[in-house]
Amino acid sequence: MCRLGLRLLGHRVVVTGVVSKARKDVVYVANHTSYMDSVVLCALLPGDLAFAAYGELEQNWFQGSFVRRLGALFVERFDPSGAVADTAKALDLLRDGRPVVMFPEATIMPMSGLLDFRMGAFVIAAKAGAPVIPIAIRGDRHILRHDGRAAAT
């Protein structure tokens, strides 16, 4: 559905590199440039993906309902004790064969470049013995920007 949606919207997605379908217990880590990132990754990555989403999003009536239907892993960004429980949930997902997708910057910013990475994705991968697959997303920052509006093209 995501592939079709991107095509209908006239967005061309170009992939450089290869995504292996051999393992399901992987942690994908990607830079976070736009609210469109999840749609692009859903269109390209194999498996029943479990996206990590910030916990506050679960309470949003519109976005939260959509993300819940995707089977998101809602994570605590500010309380360390909540983060421990989130790690256990992510490990369970990996054991169940669901690849976990995380944005280690933990937010979207309007400027280019990368923010400091939070360590959650790497801790989860290390505990699970799962590989970390890095992904660089370019070109969709202007589609659904940091302020939530689509940029004029």
Which residues belong to the active site?
32
User: What torsion, rounded to 10 degrees, do the Cα atoms 120, 105, 136, 75 define?
Assistant: 50
- Alpha-carbon distance of 75 to 91, in angstroms, equals 13
Per the structure block, which two tokens stand in for 58?
Answer: 């679960």
Q: In DSSP terms, which residues pair with 51 in a beta bridge?
A: 101
- Alpha-carbon distance of 131 to 27, in angstroms, equals 6
